[in-house]
Amino acid sequence: MKQIYLDHNATTPILPEVFDAMVPYLKEEWGNPSSIHWAGRGPRKALDDAREKVAELLNCSPVEIIFTSSGSESDNLAIKGTAYSKKSKGNHIITTKVEHPAVLSTCKYLEREGFEVTYLGVDADGMISLDELKSAITDKTILITIMMANNETGVIFPIEEIGQIARERKIVFHTDAVQGAGKIAIDTKTLNADLITISGHKLYGPKGVGLLYVKRGARVVPLIHGGHHERNRRGGTEDLAGIVGFAKAFEIALRDMKKEEEHLIELRTRLEEGLSEKIPHVKLNGHKDKRLPNTANISFEFVEGESLLLSLDMLGVAASSGSACTSGSLEASHVLIAMGLTPELYHGSIRFSFGRSNTMEDVEFIIEKMPPIVERMRSMSPLWDVKNQTGAKITFSEKSCTN
């Protein structure tokens, strides 16, 4: 069977070059980078080199890099670490309703710890309002945490402007750049962010390794106490192979960024046009231009997203949906709900996220296979019948989402 992977925002395969760079640190160079004897010297140099390379790619100093176990850990460290270090100055945090769960759940946790959190809404395009951000700031605001690019829709937020606003008010600014890194340029000298989260496995590196950029002068209270690793900011013997792989993957992503961008936009444009042309009542979600080049979030009205995904899976196509009916929770995408989509649209949303290995042939295959599937599903939907016969405005029942 064909295998078409269109879920690169969930994870990416490790590039062969990245794998090759990692292997020595799982085999010969197994020493502890903290050891001063012969076994630790090679690993210590590799760790220093990886840190220097990543710092160069981000245009920052190696001391501003903390390696972590994941994007999730970096988000936790940035948010809790800042909240705890600034507690005496205030207890107010500003974020958005469309953040990744690693940010949202951390904020929810801090609310239970006595912090107050403002969740900014988004418009129909998934964009936040800078005026709303400005008016949310109070004397108690200690942290603004807003993602660079949304994982579900690909919508890109104006990080430099947000950082500027934060800086003028002397508020710490963290951005979760997990989806942005490797797809859009990140220069710490111009981005105006104090803290930046990046994850290895979203940019063709290994899983289980992340990074937090901490601008010189910004202070985060450690979450993992231990030895003197990462300048006392994160205990634990380093995952050297993972870190080396991360550095290699990030280097390759930036080296190929322009070329990849063109490739991704070409594929995505064709997919969006092809599906819109062949299937009635489809809607593209998210700002048309201020968007990552690889992400297409499309709603097929009156189709149940999860069923559509299963049909695609049977054809060998891996994509993902906004709603999570399969988990039994009937939980719809918090991002699409915040954008004001109606249930009949957000229940029928599919995220296609392209990557390096995708071809135009993949796209044409989907454009050919999807229309009859959607048509069949709609023909089985009583709501679709009613809509077509009467043009009546009806609501998609929560109960139709039962698998």
Point out the residues that are catalytic.
325
Q: How far is the CB of 331 from ligand PLP (least distance, A)?
A: 17
Binding residues for ligand PLP restricted to 54-73, rule: CB under 6 A: 70-72
CB 358 within 8 A of CB 4: yes
Based on CB atoms, which residue is closest to ligand PLP, 195 or 275?
Answer: 195
Phi, psi of 171 (to 5 degrees): -110, 140
Based on CB atoms, which residue is closest to ligand PLP, 9 or 381?
Answer: 9
H, E, C per residue of 259-319: HHHHHHHHHHHHHHHHHHHHCCCEEEECCCCCECCCEEEEEECCCCHHHHHHHHHHCCEEC
Say whether residue 179 binds ligand PLP (CB under 6 A): yes
Say whether residue 178 binds ligand PLP (CB under 6 A): yes
CB 360 within 8 A of CB 146: no
d(CA 306, CA 160): 37
Q: How far is the CB of 392 from ligand PLP (least distance, A)?
A: 39
Binding residues for ligand PLP restricted to 308-367, rule: CB under 6 A: none
Say whether residue 176 binds ligand PLP (CB under 6 A): yes
Based on CB atoms, which residue is closest to ligand PLP, 25 or 157?
Answer: 157
Q: How many CA atoms lie within 13 A of 109 on its CB side?
A: 13
Q: How far is the CB of 10 from ligand PLP (least distance, A)?
A: 7
Q: Facing residues of 4 across strands?
A: 317
Residues 6+ apart with CB under 8 A from 88: none
**Of 110-118, 194-202, 271-279, 313-321: span binding ligand PLP (CB under 6 A):** 194-202
Say whether residue 151 binds ligand PLP (CB under 6 A): yes
Residues contacting ligand PLP: total by CB under 6 A: 15
Start-to-end CA distance of the chain, whole Å, equals 25
Say whether residue 370 binds ligand PLP (CB under 6 A): no
Based on CB atoms, which residue is closest to ligand PLP, 100 or 387?
Answer: 100
**Of 41-49, 196-204, 334-342, 391-399: span binding ligand PLP (CB under 6 A):** 196-204
Crossing angle of the two packed helices 305-314 and 360-379, in degrees rounded to 10: 130
Q: How far is the CB of 101 from ligand PLP (least distance, A)?
A: 8
**Of 48-56, 172-180, 353-361, 381-389: span binding ligand PLP (CB under 6 A):** 172-180
Task: Tell me how many degrees the CA angle 231-206-176 measures, rounded to the nearest 5.
Answer: 60
Q: How far is the CB of 317 from ligand PLP (least distance, A)?
A: 21
Based on CB atoms, which residue is closest to ligand PLP, 70 or 192?
Answer: 70
Q: What is the CA radius of gyration of the chain?
A: 22
Based on CB atoms, which residue is closest to ligand PLP, 299 or 320?
Answer: 320
Among 8, 44, 174, 202, binds ligand PLP (CB under 6 A): 202
Among 8, 51, 92, 100, binds ligand PLP (CB under 6 A): 100
**Of 199-207, 261-269, 277-285, 384-392: span binding ligand PLP (CB under 6 A):** 199-207
**Of 175-183, 296-304, 326-334, 369-377: span binding ligand PLP (CB under 6 A):** 175-183
Say whether residue 210 binds ligand PLP (CB under 6 A): yes
Beta strands 295-300 and 349-353 are antiparallel
Per-residue x/- mask for ligand PLP, residues 71 to 90, rule CB under 6 A?
Answer: xx--x---------------
Residue numbers of the site for ligand PLP (CB under 6 A)? Answer: 70-72, 75, 100, 102, 147, 151, 176, 178-179, 199, 201-202, 210
